[in-house]
Structure 1
């Protein structure tokens, strides 16, 4: 991958603020669900979020190994696939809540760490200390515009 296609690994202030605000929004959406379910329901929802973290950790390791051979935009579309699949398959149930839980944690992690690019990869990046240079369908254009200003 040449330098023109490389995604910035750091988000600038507006990108951080937007990631944080969207993360807080999702927290406010899932928090009441956790307050209204039993302990067993909480564990099921957190299990879905943990499952997504495992999937994204494996994807993170795969991308770190094969980054030069994979287009970052195509990979970003593929990276968001597991989250969307879990959300839509389990729409209205524990799986959807688990997916939103993972997304809110990932957005807040990306905002605090200042990670640019794909926010769903910020949680696995905590464990490896390496950033995956994937673009984000929502935030990368904002990061790009902000860096040009």
Structure 2
């Protein structure tokens, strides 16, 4: 599950969809950053940085203990922190920070060709190893694309 030889790479359709969704989220958060003060932008970026730290810790825990995680539980575990921050701070700086983190993750996953959950792509940059957790949206696309390859 976590070894380099079992990591699936996203194929062209999955990469294009990740890129398109990442660009969409960038187009949604960029006007917010252009419209707020420097202090407001720093607060939003600090939420994104906080999510990065949470996902880096989660990534390191999974790599260290290498648990066999059920697909559904893995998807919930992967998106739980992001959704929690988004919905707790809906309409405010926390939600913008969550969307910023998601946009960056989607773009990095598209560029690197990471399969599975895109929110783990940023921590993978730091460790050089990808934690392959399932994604409710992209994993089925990756599996179908792999079957028709």
Tell me the TM-score normalised to structure 2 length. 0.93
Moved over 2 A (4+): 6-9, 66-73
Q: Using a 3 Å threshold, how does the CA distance of structure 1 residues 140 and 7 change in structure 2: closer, same or farther?
A: farther
Gaps of 5+ in 2: none
Q: RMSD of aligned C-alpha atoms? A: 1.5
Q: Using a 3 Å threshold, how does the CA distance of structure 1 residues 87 and 7 change in structure 2: closer, same or farther?
A: farther
Gaps of 5+ in 1: none
Q: Using a 3 Å threshold, how does the CA distance of structure 1 residues 130 and 72 change in structure 2: closer, same or farther?
A: farther
Q: Offset of 1:7 from its aligned partner?
A: 7.0
Q: Offset of 1:40 from its aligned partner?
A: 0.1
Query: In the alignment, is the contact (CA less than 8 A) between 1:72 and 1:133 conserved in 2?
Result: no
How many residues align? The count is: 145
Q: Offset of 1:8 from its aligned partner?
A: 4.4
Q: Distance in 2 between matches of 1:68 and 1:51?
A: 24
Query: In the alignment, is the contact (CA less than 8 A) between 2:7 and 2:130 conserved in 1?
Result: no
Q: Distance in 1 between matches of 2:139 and 2:69?
A: 17
Q: After the TM superposition, which of the residue ranges 47-56 and 74-83 deviates more from structure 2?
A: 74-83
